[in-house]
Structure 1
Amino acid sequence: MIHRRLQAQLVSLLADYPAVALLGPRQVGKTTLAIEVSKNRDCIYLDLESAADRAKLSEPELYLNDHADKLVILDEVHRVPELFQPLRGLIDQGRRRGRRAGRFLLLGSASRELLQQSSETLAGRIAYLELAPFDTLEVNDDPQEKLWIRGGFPDSLLAADDKRSLIWRQNFIRTYLERDVPRLGPRIATETLRRFWVMLAHTQGGLLNAASLARGLDVTGKTIASYLDLMVDLLLVRRLSPWHRNVGKRLVKSPKIYVRDSGVLHGLLGLRDKEAVMSHPVIGSSWEGFVIENLVNVAPQGTEANFYRASGGAEIDLIVTLPGRRPWAIEIKRSLEPKLSKGFYFACEEIQPEAKYVVYPGEESFALSKDVTAVSLTSLAKTLRAA
């Protein structure tokens, strides 16, 4: 089994909080990680997609009080949102009895119901942790291009061949559309949401153009906003906000939109293998999104991620701002001989970054100019992780 970097952090949070919510899209490995951290604990596991396990919680206070000395893992907890209120009472009872941490591990697919219910009823009692698909630091024994083409979902990455990997991703997309989204959000026609998701894939890394998307689906801009909010809430799409700290500049104010997992992106576009990706117009924006997702996932907690684009052509693909630090400027190139435009340097003059990097698909690090270094994704991920 590939070791998950978040495992130590999850163990630490369970030692400090009575409840921890481990959030992430379906099939990302939440249950596997939960079982792994509970190996040396007295615990009980309930899958709330199981009618039998849901029946055990028909009287949650009675059942859970019988297991007050155990770590209770509640999988797919968003299926039973009415549980949050009794959990608050049980946590407060436990605190009065000296049991202040490690009571409940809640696993959810990041539905709005989960986030809203927990924030309203478990405030001050719960910590959150997001589990993303595998990143380059977790699978450094595998070729990075395999991770890029197949994405980081375990069953896709570890499939026996590219054909089986693509079939898994296509089934994942179909299951989300036909079963999971109707359970987790508002009622949306499956075909309409599929078309919306595919449209986002075709415009990967582009500025949000709600009017164009609305025309393509024959819906209103408000409806497009609700669809996008849903996909962002489910951790399937990233909405990268623009840098706008200098109000004196004419900066782009629309966010950039990315399908978060590169393998899912390729599945939406029907790209079966590396050759298909390399010959498709999405190649550059796919690589860009892959790099951004990896760097954001490994960055220290509290790091902000943005992009910079001004009307005059100044542009930076990714700006990461670590807590209490000046920003890092990161440009992303697919070429083995990366070259920077004047727009990058103009943007750097404006934001005055602490460091400047260009991520490219090669392995060696080298200076592109006096203060700009070309690096591999893995190298910069390690640097960012250690910062």
Structure 2
Amino acid sequence: MTEKKYLTRTLTSDLLRISNNDKVLLINGPRQIGKTTFLQHIAESGRKYVTFDNKTDLQFAKTDSKGFLETFAPPVIFDEIQYAPELFPCIKMLVDSSDARGQIWMTGSQQYNMMENVTESLAGRVIIIDMLGLSLYERDGLGEKQKAFLPSGNPQAILKKRNIPETFKLIWQGAFPDVIYRDEKSRKDFYDSYVRTYIERDVSKIINVSNEVAFITFLKIAAARTGQELNIANIAKDVGISQPTVKNWLSVLRASGIIYFLQPYFKNITKRLIKSAKMYFLDTGLAAYLAGWTTSEALETGISAGAFFETFVVSEILKSYYHNGETPQLYFFRDDKKHEIDLLIYKDGMFFPIEIKKHASPTRSDISAFEIFSKLEKVSYGCEICLTPNLQPLTPNVVAHSIWDI
């Protein structure tokens, strides 16, 4: 295993700005994507740290919330706060009694009841920040330079360039901070442990999974469908469970930051548009592990290569927004004639269309749906993200470029 080093996260400056202006902040995201390490690394001297994975501290917080907050007085980091919702009313009283900023930093790894408790008890007092695994910029030591991505004729182009096999090695490897330093054998060990821990710690606390084998089968089948339109009936049939159970289990994956639903663009004036969401795993390494891709070479040449490349691009664009403290408005477009745009970013009254292709030879035919969509909405600059090594203009307002130019 390669020696680990801390990689600066894009969120650093934004989090410190928020902490200087607000009393409570919550970093929300999947387990083991570096939330705790990030907060501990940038915390000032004297800020306490408590994890609710520790059963003793958790019991203390649940049975004597007031005494707990007196013992662990601000400034403090509360890790995995979803396990101790009893603290929220006392946190509210505590921060209301002082004008101090940045009193409490929290992390959470599942949104089910936590978000309901946070919004009810700490409304107007907490800033919620989403965080995912390492972005390409963070991996390359350029976290402070990452911007929220929008198509343009002049992309940043400061990332280290990789060839196609190297690109799929990163897709297959995944973006958990701990996994990027591992060889192939220990990568598998990491994901074996991650899935087991995820089911034991998170899933079992959200729902009662009576058939763990069926749930693991469900995970594998869902992972194999990353980047595809969601078809609950097909998943239910393949797993051998009911459609309501599929919906429930998908909501668990979404709540714990494992998957993302990309909603379809829909306008009432036309009824010829697809209305089902597309499902993406937020970490392609976890998806590749669950789907049974044992090497990056097999993934690169396999039937799912295009879907995994698309998943990779969508997750990186999401990171560019989340890690800059922003929540993007993202959609996809498809009509009944199969005209499709993989990703639409809506910002400031305009749509920015993005086509994602796993090839190195982009052509204007790849973006034919852009013109169709422009008859429905105001369209700004667009792009095709593919495996081309060079920047290639396709029209005056659309350019093709690699994932390394986002």
**Aligned with 1:312 (options 313, 316, 337):** 337
Q: RMSD of aligned C-alpha atoms?
A: 2.0
TM-score normalised to structure 2 length: 0.86
Aligned equivalents of 2:213 and 2:269: distance in 1? 41
CA–CA distance in structure 2, aligned partners of residues 314 and 184 of structure 1: 39
Alignment correspondent of 1:365 = 391
Letter of the 1:162 counterpart: E
How far did 1:310 drift? 0.4
Partner residue of 1:356 out of 362, 378, 382: 382
Q: Secondary structure at the match of 1:164?
A: helix
* Secondary structure class of the residue paired with 1:327: strand
Q: Deviations for 1:263-313, whole angstroms, at most 9, x for unmatched residues?
A: 011110222222121132111000001001101221362420110000022
Match in the other structure for 2:104: 104
Aligned-partner Cα distance in 2 for 1:189–1:80 = 27
Quick check: 241-250 or 73-82, which moved more? 241-250
1:337 aligned residue: 361
Residue identity matched to 2:123: A
* Residue 149 (structure 2) aligns with: none
CA distance in 1, matches of 2:174, 2:374: 31
TM-superposed CA distance for 1:86, in Å, is 1.5
Q: Which amino acid in the other structure matches residue 105 of structure 2?
A: L
Amino acid at match of 2:58: R
For normalisation by structure 1, the TM-score amounts to: 0.90
1:265 counterpart = 2:287: yes
Partner residue in 2 for 1:385 = none
Matched, 1:61 2:66: yes
Q: Following TM superposition, by how much is the alpha carbon of 1:246 offset from its aligned partner in structure 2, in angstroms?
A: 4.8
Which of 4, 7, 11 does residue 2 from structure 1 map onto? Answer: 7
Q: Deviations over 1:99-125 (max 9, x none)?
A: 2x2111111102312111111111111
Does residue 1:244 correspond to 2:244, yes or no?
no
Residue 231 of structure 1 aligns with which residue?
253
- What residue number does 1:22 align with? 27
| Deviation of 1:249 (Å) | 4.3
Structure 1: state its 5+ residue gaps.
Answer: 381-387
Query: Displacement, 1:175?
Result: 2.0
The aligned counterpart of 1:13 is 18
Q: Which residue identity lines up with residue 42 of structure 1 in the other structure?
A: G
Of structures 1 and 2, the one with the larger relative CO (CA 8 A, separation 6+) is 2
Match of 2:77 among 73, 76, 82: 73
- Deviations, residues 43-75 of structure 1 (Å, cap 9, x unaligned): 11111111232354342212323554x311111
Cα distance change of structure 1 residues 223 and 350 upon mapping to structure 2, 3 Å threshold: same
Q: Which range moves more in the overlay, 277-286 or 245-254?
A: 245-254
What do residues 215-236 of structure 1 show as CA deviations (whole Å, max 9, x unaligned)? Answer: 2233332222111111111110
**What SS is found at the alignment partner of 2:234?**
helix
Q: Deviations over 1:18-55 (max 9, x none)?
A: 111111111110110110121x2421111111123235
**Contact 2:357 2:386 (C-alpha < 8 Å) held by counterparts:** yes
Secondary structure in 2 aligned to 1:191? helix
Whole-Å separation in 2 of the counterparts to 1:273 and 1:220: 33
Q: Is the counterpart of residue 136 in structure 1 residue 140 in structure 2?
A: no
Q: Is this contact kept in 2: 1:49–1:76, CA < 8 A?
A: yes
- Give the number of aligned pairs: 372
SS in 1 for 2:136: coil
Q: 1:211 to 1:112 in 2, by over 3 A?
A: same
Deviation by residue 1:76-95 (Cα, 9 ceiling, x = unmatched): 1111221112211212222x
Tell me if structure 1 keeps the 8 A contact 2:346–2:352: yes
Residue in 2 that maps onto 1:114 = 114
The question of whether the paired residues in 2 share the 8 Å contact of 1:178 and 1:190 is answered with: no
Partner AA of 2:175 in structure 1:
G
Tell me if structure 2 keeps the 8 A contact 1:61–1:90: no
**Kept after mapping to 1: 8 A contact 2:110/2:202:** no
- Once residues 67 and 227 of structure 1 are traced to their aligned partners in structure 2, the CA distance between those partners, rounded to angstroms, is 36
Letter paired with 2:118: S
- Distance in 2 between residues matched to 1:30 and 1:50, nearest whole Å: 17
Contact 2:77 2:104 in 1 (8 A): yes
Q: List gaps (5 residues or longer) in structure 2.
A: 1-5, 142-159
Of 87, 92, 104, the residue aligned with 1:88 is 92
User: Which stretch shifts more, 25-34 or 149-158?
Assistant: 149-158
- Is 1:153 aligned to residue 179 of structure 2? no
